[in-house]
Amino acid sequence: MTTHTHQDPDVPVEAYLRRIGATRPERLDAAALRDLQLRHLKAVPFENLSIHLGEEIVLEEKALLDKVLGARRGGFCFEINGTFAALLRALGFGVTLLQARVFGEGGRLGIPYDHMAMVVETETEGRWLADIGFGEHSHFPLALDERGDQDDPAGTFRVVETGDGDLDVLRNGKPQYRLEPRPRVLADFTAGAWYHRTSPDSHFPRSLVCTRLTDDGRVTLSGHKLVTHVHGERTERLLGGDEEVRTAYRDLFGIELTQLPPVPPASPSRQS
């Protein structure tokens, strides 16, 4: 696998680090990567609001950085994994983007470029699978070359080789997605992003989600429904009018909205 290690001078590193409450790491090691991933998960929400607001999703580094840093928004996998990759490269980590197909009901695999993850190389501890764009996934990077169980606050994970050279990522014994180890670039995911923005077969046009990790659990807003998990205890309540929803977006996710996204009909959702 060829790892892309160029440092992009156009990435506003200090502004990005402030956005996630981090400082520039002294060493490019696994501990630094773990800290950056966890801080990112807590600061930048996984959200698909652009799809429901009719906003264009542009898979170009500058556009994504403008959204996450300038507009203080989040995004779905292609967007926030894309910006996180840009930050890591600018810091000096080796980063390779990978495409994945997500396992659905009955073990059926989704489309190619269904999901984006990345492999990050540290100075001394090898290769790590970093993924901040798969909803309730691992809090910390996974050791890509480890084939045993890897314990994480989000569950027990395992990376399994398939017969044709791909890698299946399992959580608590259940396959999550299948990685193809061939390096990709951001523009390769344009078709996948278009599919998830427009296709009736994608869950994204049928579900509205804004979620982030918290110090003691997770908070999720879907339309007027607010769900909080605190130390494993789930609480759900319906918010009142639009102003209360706007306030929740602002106070819980740092997102200022002049227009609320319309709520689609309720349907099962899968975050990726």
Q: Which distant-in-sequence residues (6+ apart) come within 8 Å of 90 by Cβ?
A: 7, 8, 9, 11, 13, 16
Q: Are strands 115-121 and 210-214 parallel, antiparallel or unpaired?
A: unpaired
Alpha-carbon distance 151 to 133, whole Å? Answer: 19
Exactly one of 40, 52, 77, 203 is catalytic; name it.
Answer: 77
- 131 part of the active site: yes
Exactly one of 115, 137, 203, 229 is catalytic; name it.
Answer: 115
Hey, what are 137's tokens?
């996934």
DSSP character string of 34-65: HHHHHHHHHHS-EE-HHHHHT-----SHHHHH
Partner residues linked to 121 by β-bridges: 94, 127
- 77 part of the active site: yes
CB 117, CB 179: distance < 8 Å: yes
Query: How far apart, in Å, are the Cα atoms of 127 and each of 3, 52, 91, 141, 191?
Result: 10, 36, 16, 10, 27
CB 218, CB 212: distance < 8 Å: yes
Hey, what are 53's tokens?
């607001």
Q: Give Cα 32 to chain centroid, integer Å.
A: 18
Exactly one of 52, 131, 196, 229 is catalytic; name it.
Answer: 131
* R_g of the chain, CA atoms, integer Å: 18
What is the DSSP secondary structure assignment for residue 147, as one 8-state letter? Answer: -
CB 47, CB 75: distance < 8 Å: yes
Among all residues, which ones are annotated catalytic? 77, 115, 131
